[in-house]
Structure 1
Amino acid sequence: MQIKSFSGRTLGANALKSFAHPLRLRIYQLIEEHGPSTATGLAARLGQNTGATSYHLRELAKHGMIEVVAGMGRGKEKYWRVTPGGFSYGEARPADPEVAGALDYLLDDLVRTRGAELARWREESATAPEEWVQAGAYGRRSLRLTPEETALMRDQVFEVLERYRALSESGDRDGTGHVVVHFDVLPVGTGDGG
């Protein structure tokens, strides 16, 4: 069965290896959360020098992860944003051990980040505006499905998420906030150790 991609692009081997860097991941996450940023602003947030953040920004841009925002900044100042459309890590495990190691690093970071985001919201929800508390949700379902049903459900959820991603990237709108959606489909117990 062909898996439908809901991302603007799939990261190739060189992009995976480049992205699997702690500072690049953190820079990407900061831009994603706070919006367009300069090398100087990121350096201040990260306790780094501007040369280091500039280098890592260029590396992220080289692989299409971020891009310069046209019309922002003065002189040589560049504001960087996450490239619209999203990305995926690919469908299959890479055969190249170096690329597979980079993918493992990125997936482990994804799991850590999700845990940190959940813990952060759990803490922040006590003082967040009521409309945001009411809009948020925690969810977990345990289902008995076939592989075909699982793939269909996954694709339908991603179709909904894609509509909201497009809305999110449609420009500045009043009343928006940074919203993170976690969605995983985990066929637990189907492997050799199951």
Structure 2
Amino acid sequence: MTREQGTDDQRAEVGARRTVDSPEVLKALAHPLRLRILRHLGAKGPATSTTLAAALGENTGTLSYHLRMLERAGLIEDIPERSGGRERWWRGVRGLDIRRPPQGELTDAERAVSAELDRLRLEEDVELARRFTAEQAESEGWMRGSRSLVHLTKDELNALHDDYVALLARYARGPEEAPPDARPVLLRWFGLPADLD
């Protein structure tokens, strides 16, 4: 079976993508530890608060609080068949397309939360760009990138973005479904007008 064909489960998951654009989700994301939790669950797979605390260097009480915040926002879920007693196993919710609500619909407080999330993500993106530059030559083909300049209408830019999200959905799978030779790969895409300066 080719990668393009995929499995019935993968096709169903792609079809089940859910757009999330509430201020509550932005608020849940606008915390550095919560972003680290989501990254860990996305890269390593399900974990308990105890295993997350050990992996992230935090105490279990702190982790439990932030796990509850992520669960309330619908970003993670427990795995009932793996959980027992007081121990709960957590995984990231698959098939989410997280989008920013329109700025005009946000309160001043929500705009501040959105700005904090942007700041946290920018720090991460700058560090990833540094790593890409420093480590690409030794990555054995695991680091790929592209830069382009194209002339687009706003509608075409929106269509390109939607096509990119659809392409990601086609290849998206969690660590539980990945073959043994797969690795977690961080991807970024953004477009902005080149004539702003």
1:142 matches 2:149? yes
Q: CA deviation at 1:103?
A: 0.9
**Cross-structure match for 1:119:** 130
Q: CA deviation at 1:59?
A: 0.9
Q: For residue 192 of structure 2, what is the amino acid of its counterpart?
A: L
1:43 to 53, 57, 70: 53
**Cross-structure match for 1:158:** 165
- Segment of structure 1 superposing worse, 118-127 or 32-41: 118-127
Q: Is the 8 A contact 1:43 1:49 kept in 2?
A: yes
1:185 matches 2:191? yes
1:173 to 179, 186, 190: 179
Q: CA deviation at 1:91?
A: 4.4
Q: Is the 8 A contact 1:27 1:42 kept in 2?
A: yes
CA distance, structure 1, for counterparts of residue 57 and residue 68 of structure 2: 18
Q: RMSD of the TM alignment (CA)? A: 2.5
Q: For residue 97 of structure 1, what is the amino acid of its counterpart?
A: D
Residues 22-42 of structure 1, C-alpha deviation per residue, up to 9 Å, x if partnerless?
222222222222221211122
Structure with more relative contact order (C-alpha pairs < 8 Å, separation 6 or more): 2
**Cross-structure match for 2:116:** 105
Extract unaligned runs of 5+ from structure 2: 1-15
Extract unaligned runs of 5+ from structure 1: 1-5
Matches within 5 A, 1:83-98: 83-93=93-103, 94-98=105-109
Residues 62-116 of structure 1, C-alpha deviation per residue, up to 9 Å, x if partnerless?
1101111243355432221111012323341143011111111112222221222
Q: Give me the TM-score of the superposition, normalised by structure 2.
A: 0.78
| Identity among equivalent pairs (%) | 29
Q: Is the 8 A contact 1:89 1:103 kept in 2?
A: no
